[in-house]
């Protein structure tokens, strides 16, 4: 049932994006590496690095580095405290712009098994955002809430999925909870719907490629970013 709900949510997002064709459309490529390291039954760490292009891969728009310390309550529940650095490059009338952003975040993650070997992950994250100044804008502080759901569906029927092909569906919604007037003047910030095909090389490494639809709310309009994403997932010490 949870997997069907996630699939329906992603389908609705894609339909909405198609209807909003009069808005700005962009096409970009993202690359990402997600790593989890477990030190003991209760303690571990995570790290991800992401590189995101601008429209038509004209230049490298975003670089994101995000480490965290994790506490595992049991095998399917964890909490984390982390930091993220985001470098944003832009172009305004052929003039280069740059904005640094530091984030502190807290999150809670729950993973459930559905059926034989499908897993559904729910992530709740609160971010404190320290956005640096640009050529035209001062620095400011904001907070944002994010809810993320991801389903991984192996294409085999093994009770324990350690190798083979899989499908991944995920959706993430972003909501501004403080200082939204400095951002887009709306509580709703953006939505990311994603579908991918992947392969688990072993219990420690996954690789995948897919399509991500990023629906961004601006003050007076929307931007729809059509993204081809390539990702690597590594898990050590589990």
Q: For the chain, what are the domain ranges?
A: 2-236
pLDDT for the residue numbered 189:
96
Least confident of 79-88, 131-140, 178-187: 131-140
pLDDT for the residue numbered 55:
94
Q: For domain 2-236, give the fold.
A: Porin (2.40.160)
Indicate the pLDDT class of residue 137, thresholds 50, 70 and 90: confident
Q: Is the pLDDT of residue 144 over 60?
A: yes
Determine the Cα angle at 188 with ends 77 and 5, to 5°. Answer: 50
Model-level pTM? 0.90
Mean pLDDT value across residues 113-125: 93
Indicate the pLDDT class of residue 17, thresholds 50, 70 and 90: low
DSSP tag of 172: E
Percent of the chain with pLDDT over 70: 90
Q: Which of 198, 194, 223 is nearest to 209 (CA)?
A: 198
Q: Is the pLDDT of residue 133 over 70?
A: yes
CA atoms within 13 A on the CB side of 213: 18
Chain centroid offset of residue 151 CA? 14
Indicate the pLDDT class of residue 21, thresholds 50, 70 and 90: very low
């Amino acid at each position: 049932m949870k997997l069907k709900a996630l699939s329906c949510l992603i389908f609705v997002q894609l339909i909405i994006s198609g209807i909003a064709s009069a808005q700005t459309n962009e096409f970009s490529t993202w690359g990402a590496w997600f790593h989890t390291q477990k030190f003991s039954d209760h303690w571990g760490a995570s790290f991800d690095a992401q590189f995101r292009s601008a429209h038509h891969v004209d230049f490298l728009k975003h670089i994101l580095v995000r480490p965290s310390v994790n506490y595992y309550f049991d095998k399917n529940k964890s909490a984390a405290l982390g930091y993220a650095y985001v470098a944003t490059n832009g172009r305004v009338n052929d003039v280069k712009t740059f904005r640094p952003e530091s984030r502190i975040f807290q999150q809670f993650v729950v993973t459930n098994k559905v059926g034989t070997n499908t897993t559904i992950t729910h992530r709740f994250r609160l971010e404190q955002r320290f956005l640096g100044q640009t050529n035209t804008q001062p620095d400011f502080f904001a907070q944002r809430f994010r809810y993320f759901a991801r389903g991984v569906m192996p294409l085999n029927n093994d009770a324990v999925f350690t190798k083979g092909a899989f499908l991944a569906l995920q959706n993430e919604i972003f909501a501004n909870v403080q200082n939204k007037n400095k951002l887009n003047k709306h509580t709703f910030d953006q939505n990311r719907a994603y579908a991918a095909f992947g392969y688990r090389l072993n219990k420690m490494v996954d690789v995948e490629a897919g399509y991500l639809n990023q629906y961004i709310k601006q003050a007076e309009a929307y931007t729809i970013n059509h993204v081809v994403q390539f990702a690597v997932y590594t898990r050590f010490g589990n």
